[in-house]
A and B are shown apart, each in its own frame.
Chain A
Amino acid sequence: MLSRTAEYLYWISRYMERAETTARLLDVGYRMSLFPNPSGYNNEWESVLSAAGAIEGYKNKYDTIEQKNVEDYLFFDESNPSSVYNCILNARNNALVVRTSFTPESWLAINKTYQEILNLKEKKFTKSDLPDLTEWTIEQVNLFRGSLSSLLRNDGYNFLFLGLFIERADNSARLLDVKYFVLLPKPQYVGGNIDNMQWSILLRSLSSFRAFRWAYDGNITATKIADFLVLNNNCPRSLSFCIQNIVKHLTNLTCSPEKVRRIYNNLKDLNTKIQEEKIETIVEYGLHQFVTQFIRKISSVDNEIHKEFFN
């Protein structure tokens, strides 16, 4: 497989994953905007922007944080590199180049999505359309992922999934980083409405709201949620699940065993640690520090993948 093909496949699934994350964040912001708080309505848009890594770009463009503008910036804005529109556009442009390396169904899934978002972009939207847009995005991404199941299990497949899980690990970790404080046990808030709301934001944005209920009995506690999102190997968005899958798809690569080994060696410790660690220890050590280190590690693995395979 061409190095460039591997690189494009890797980025296609990164972009598609990112489109979904952005859409989910928008959905959370939208829900929160419907709930009252003591000073009027909840304003979660700022933390939505930070979690999407778009706060700086947004503030360069707009003076105040308003729903209409946030929606537009995160969904359609061409100047925001992580807007759903740009993610789909980039995924499609990459797919155009490597369409021969995956199935016609995968190409169709991406290209249809692209054709549709062009139509969506031409229309004018009102606030109440947002749920439709986010639902549409998640549907499209699922369509793409579903199409991958018919792929040959070759290196191309593994590069696609490496991209997916690197992106997801990064997205989950960033979200945790923005919201880590709600998972710290602070007696005065425990069980209060604010916490419940904040927890539900976290879970929803990681599409894990219902799953959490299935996975844990009894009371919702900060520790249980942290455990679920960081260490639970059954949760498809937890940090440990992402790491496991990165290792799996990395070691499944058949090309250049010595390159694979070099990257794996860098990743090994984190993987072992996250599989053995207890959530209490992490919280005690500092969830924020843990997540920050995790993000740094993922980024260095990403750099190594680029250096070893795509150059």
Chain B
Amino acid sequence: MFNEMYQSESVIRNHYNNINDWLDQMTSKVILEKNAEAETHFRNIGITFSTNNETARERIIPFDLIPRIFTYTEWLRLERGVIQRAKALNAFLADIYNQGEIIKANIIPKEIIYKKKSFEPSMFGFSPPRDIYSPIIGIDLVRTGPNDYFVLEDNCRTPSGVSYMLENREIMMRMFPDLFHNNRVTPIDDYPTRLLQTLMSLAPIKCENPEPVCVLLTPGPLNSAYYEHSFLSDQMGIEMVESTDLFVEGKYLYMKTVDGPKRVDVVYRRIDDDFLDPLCFNPQSVIGIPGIMDVYRTGGVNICSAPGAGIADDKAIYIYVPEMIKFYLGEQPILDNVETWNCEKEQELKYVLDNINELVVKEVDGSGGYGMLIGPKSSKSSIDEFKTKLSTNPKGYIAQPLLDLSFSPTLIKNQVEGRRVDLRPFCLIGEQAQLSSGGLTRVAMNEGSFVVNSSQGGGVKDTWVLAE
């Protein structure tokens, strides 16, 4: 097992020395106070989850005071690896919606692409500005050793969590300014500016405005990421719109303002494909902007991410990402995939069924840590239940070995204890490709747990990248 802070029981890794000293001089009283301060702050700024239960108070994600730290060298490798992956995923999208070279080269079988629900036939033959389909990619990484990083999954649609990355840093700087005097932590607060630059660099062909009008499209206040939507549009200084604020006239998209209609060039959408355009996708949908796809295809507006970008982060496609990197970029993958068995294939299914006690089984379309089985930690009955599911619907599942996620020191009842963590850094691709200098570290707050999802008792930490 790998511990982010301790090299061995008595030896602290160099880059954690300052934090260790800081922890030593913190009393339980201070910890309690600071925890309460953080909670109040998060409630006040409203970085909360809506829950379906309307009478219940909104929830906040537990915040751990101890930052997770990367050295400059460690980060450099991650940065190169994530950007490489993000470029390959965009190249893959551009390819499958046009020539389909990777299929002709027999690297990926065409059935697993064209039969997927997340493949969008209406995108065929259309190329978005700069051939960028997914300008904002969140890559979920775990670490198992000093140099061993694995990609758990890619998020090419509308990855969320970046507001936590930014707010976690804000609260840390506010509560512990001295920490930032004593450690050279790379700032991250320019992320919204970079995001806006990225969106503006992806203006559609027919846009003549030197400063394209961008909007953030949200499903509304009931969405669990609503705080993030308003936070990002605020930080970028752009309008946060709902689909009722937008309408299509002629070959353009407009928003309804007090001055009358105003043309929109780029839509950073935080709603699913299905709800974009009832004329094109889901005719039952009451939300959506009728005709927006037509405007999109004729170059009147850009939609980020592109409809159909979701095929690239499908769990069945994930297996092929290392091949994509070689195929499109001619490079060796810098970050590894987790070994994955595709239960759709008979032989692999057999292996999974035989070794299910050692494996993690995931639903292909599942998320949020739901619908998965952690073999080594599950009862016989739930294992049997999954065996039945696998045999009846094999193509709905993949399986992976249980990775020994790294431990990060975490304050549990005022004591420092090791808890498992993952990492989601955010990659932007427009005119240039860049990675946030940090990311969202999620931590499994329960002892021994492997599940970092906030829906299942996960918390978050500030993530530091030390300057060179």
Contact = CB atoms under 8 A, between A and B. Distances in A.
A100 B43 contact: no
Interface string B99-116: 000000000000000000
A58 to B, nearest CB: 23
Nearest to A308: B258
A119 to B, nearest CB: 10
A7 to B, nearest CB: 9
Contacts of B57: 118
B44 A1 contact: no
Contacts of A115: 43-44
B255 A2 contact: yes
A256 B259 contact: yes
A147 to B, nearest CB: 13
A2 B221 contact: no
The secondary-structure label for the interface of chain A is helix
B437 interface: no
Interface residues of B, number: 22
B346 interface: no
A275 to B, nearest CB: 28
A93 B419 CA distance: 36
A4 B230 contact: no
Interface residues of A, number: 23
B38 to A, nearest CB: 15
B96 interface: no
Contact of B239 (A2, A96, A118): A2
A1 B257 contact: yes
B98 interface: no
B335 interface: no
B245 interface: yes
Interface string B59-84: 00000000000000000000000000
A86 interface: no
Interface stretch (A16-24, A104-112, A182-190): A104-112
A2 B43 contact: no
Contact of B233 (A6, A100, A111, A309): A100
Contacts of B259: 1, 255-256
Contact of B230 (A100, A118, A256): A100
Contact of A2 (B44, B234, B256): B256
Nearest to A108: B44
Interface string A81-110: 000000000000100110110001001100
A155 interface: yes
B226 interface: yes
Given A2-B241, A93-B221, A309-B258, A108 B45 contact: yes
Contacts of B258: 1-3, 6, 155, 253, 255-256, 309
B260 interface: yes
Given A1-B258, A2-B257, A96 B230 contact: yes
A97 B46 CA distance: 12
Interface string B389-424: 000000000000000000000000000000000000
Interface in A1-60: 1-6
A108 B233 CA distance: 17
Contact of B226 (A6, A96, A111, A118): A96
Contacts of A2: 239, 241, 245, 255-258
Contact of B234 (A4, A100, A112): A100
A118 B43 CA distance: 12
Interface in A285-311: 309
Contacts of B43: 111, 115
Contacts of B234: 99-100
A255 B256 CA distance: 13
Contact of A3 (B221, B233, B240, B256): B256
A234 to B, nearest CB: 32
Contacts of A107: 45-46
A120 to B, nearest CB: 13
Interface string A179-218: 0000000000000000000000000000000000000000
A85 to B, nearest CB: 13
Contacts of B455: none
Given A96-B230, A256-B259, A3 B44 contact: no
Contacts of B44: 108, 111-112, 115
B228 interface: no
B221 A97 contact: yes
Most chain B CB within 10 A, of A6, A93, A111, is at A111
Interface in A132-156: 155
B242 interface: yes
A256 B260 contact: yes
A1 B245 CA distance: 11
B185 to A, nearest CB: 23
B456 interface: no
Given A3-B245, A253-B258, A256-B258, 8 more contacts: A1-B257, A4-B244, A6-B258, A93-B221, A96-B226, A99-B234, A108-B44, A108-B45
15 contacts: A1-B257, A1-B259, A2-B257, A2-B258, A3-B258, A4-B244, A96-B46, A96-B221, A99-B230, A100-B230, A100-B234, A104-B45, A111-B44, A115-B44, A155-B258
Interface of B: 43-46, 57, 221, 226, 230, 233-234, 239-242, 244-245, 255-260
Interface of A: 1-6, 93, 96-97, 99-100, 104, 107-108, 111-112, 115, 118, 155, 253, 255-256, 309
**The 3 residue pairs across chains A and B that have the minimum distance between CB atoms:** A100-B234, A255-B258, A255-B259
